[in-house]
Amino acid sequence: MTTSGFSTAGVIAVGSELLTPHRIDTNSLFVTARLNDLGIDVRIKMVVGDDRAELTETFRHVLPLVDLVVLTGGLGPTDDDVTRDAVAVALDLTLEEDEAIVERIRARFARRGLEMPDINRRQAQVPRGAVVLDNPNGTAPGLWLEHADRVVLLLPGPPRELQPMFEGVARDRIEPRVGTHRLYRRVLKVTGRTESHVEEAAQPVYSKWLANRPAITTTILAAPGQIELHLVTGGDNAGEAEARLDKAVEELVAVLRPHVYSVDGRSLEQVVGDLLRARGLRVATAESCTGGVVASRLTDVPGSSDYVDAGAVTYSNRSKVDILGVPEALIQEHGAVSEPVAIAMARGIRTRTAADVTVGITGIAGPGGGSDAKPVGTVAVAIIGPDGAVASHTWRLPGDRQQVKFQASQATLDLIRRTLTK
Ligand code: ATP
């Protein structure tokens, strides 16, 4: 433990079902987010089945490494609910029945006109010295245990029980132990570069910040079409920490420009929407391979009626000709997936709407339909800007059908962003 109080935690999610493909441990995500809000860094996270010996060992292993251990689940009344036992064994504490808990559980059953089964008495077993945390939404109470300079927190597994207990009682107990230390974070969002390109450009900057004291740690989260850089720093002074992050963000933007589209949490469609609104412009889309994903993403943003004018999904050649007026000869000459056709689509929607900015998108999402010249993932996008300037690009996007559609929408939205920020 640091002099400023708690700074590290471990989370152990207990439940054999969490080791199957059928249930995901979401409790640790919730607990981690809340602990981070309090400035506590989660260093270790584990999932353990309902096995007393394995849980005892795991808990013994984690306890010396962190200031706070949070265990979730395994507090039920049945034989396979082993968390209380394992913690008591590991800390060498005896379990004692707490009559007040028995009464509370009995009353819960009585409210539903039922008698309490005797096995529920197990839930009233409390390791000596533990503080009982009331669970308003279930029978399993939580437990707060202080052991030397460490704290162990046991919370029930069902998220609808755990979450209100964390907010209602656990947080108030943890907060005074934290001192003034908090975590501060920023997210940079990048598109149009691969993870290795981003890593190569950003690495010298963030390794410098990692070596500094106080350090800034950077995590790269890559997904098809977008890469996020998460910057985190800890500190006792919000102003100082924010200034440190501002400086790091500025340096990263300088090396990654113009691929960084957001440093304030906004999505690409929000950024594009804000640019359109600021300039009083309206957008219309003519989409083929993306099937309306671009229009859908633009309209995911509340208030997008301020700047979205229209969207057409013209999937067949016939509809490109009939609805957008793409010349049939152009399709014959260049193929439907080509920059000239994408430009004709953008022109077609422009003459048929009141939009100031229009895009045409045509491509091969796969898995079939590719050729040597135009493999699966080939996407042609055209944009006509507010001044009437035409630009077009062809991309070769990797991945399956869904990934190609998403990346094509990402590339298109980014093209709109770049056109409007030129
Ligand atoms: P109760 O006695 O109320 O059941 P419990 O502490 O014994 O509480 P568990 O039996 O371990 O809780 O889990 C009950 C259910 O809660 C699980 O079937 C699962 O649906 C959910 N759950 C448990 N742990 C987690 C977790 N880590 N993340 C998400 N859901 C969980």
Among candidate residues 264, 275, 272, the one with its CA nearest the CA of residue 294: 272
pLDDT digits over 65-120, tens only?
A: 999 999 999 998 888 899 999 999 999 999 999 999 999 999 999 999 999 998 98
Q: Give the CA-trace dihedral at 395, 223, 271, 216, to 10 degrees.
A: -130
SS (H, E, C) 157-171: CCHHHHHHHHHHHHH
Indicate if the pLDDT at residue 3 is higher than 50: no
Indicate if the pLDDT at residue 196 is higher than 60: yes
Among candidate residues 299, 294, 287, the one with its CA nearest the CA of residue 336: 287
pLDDT value of residue 422: 86
pLDDT digits over 203-236, tens only?
A: 999 999 998 888 999 999 998 899 999 999 988 9
Element (H, E) at 176: helix 171-178
SS3 call for 324 = helix
- Atom 28 in ligand 1: which residue has the minimum CA distance? 25
| 143 Cα: distance to centroid of ligand 1 (angstroms) | 16
Task: Transcribe 245-288 into DSSP letters.
Answer: HHHHHHHHHHHHTTSEEESSS--HHHHHHHHHHHTT--EEEEES
| 125 Cα: distance to centroid of ligand 1 (angstroms) | 18
pTM of the shown model: 0.78
pLDDT digits over 4-56, tens only?
A: 578 899 999 999 999 999 999 999 999 999 999 999 999 999 999 999 999 99
Q: Ligand 1 pocket, 25 CB below 6 A?
A: yes
Contact between 358 and 349 (Cβ < 8 Å): yes
Residue with more model confidence, 5 or 314: 314
Give the gyration radius of the chain's Cα atoms. 28
| 53 Cα: distance to centroid of ligand 1 (angstroms) | 19
SS3 call for 292 = coil
Indicate if the pLDDT at residue 2 is higher than 80: no
Q: Which of 22, 51, 72 to mutate to test the pocket of ligand 1 (most atoms within 8 A of CB)?
A: 72
pLDDT value of residue 406: 97
Rounded to 5, what percent of the chain is helix, strand, coil? 45, 25, 30
pLDDT value of residue 239: 96
| 158 Cα: distance to centroid of ligand 1 (angstroms) | 4
Among candidate residues 346, 408, 341, 345, the one with its CA nearest the CA of residue 376: 408
